[in-house]
Amino acid sequence: MPAKQPSPTERVEQLFEELTAHYGDGDDRELRAAAKLLLVALDKLRAHGGRDWARLLDEYVDIVKHDPERFTRMLQSNSSTSSSELLA
């Protein structure tokens, strides 16, 4: 039986860990790694999100700010490996 492949969210988490390690013992290494991922994500949202990409971004930011439990559930749901397991 083949090994379970990591979900896209798990792969991004792994990349974050690699970026954090890249910054070594530098100041704010976690923040710097997160900022790099955010810059790439914003570019992809802008490029592929259509005319309403900024509205989608605002919706996610509002969820993070005002409903952190929902945001946590969304992250956990998106760690699933099959689309039938996704909630958000």
Q: In the chain, how many domains are there?
A: 1
Residue 60 placed within a domain: yes
Residue 71 placed within a domain: yes
The verdict on pTM exceeding 0.85 is no
Please report which residue ranges of 23-52 form alpha helices under DSSP H: 29-48
The 3-state DSSP composition of the chain as helix, strand, coil percent (nearest 5) reads 75, 0, 25
Residue 74 placed within a domain: yes
Question: pLDDT by residue for the chain (88 residues), tens digit each?
Answer: 678 888 888 999 999 999 999 999 989 999 999 999 999 999 999 999 999 999 999 999 999 999 999 999 998 887 765 544 444 4
Total Cβ atoms within 10 A of residue 84 = 6
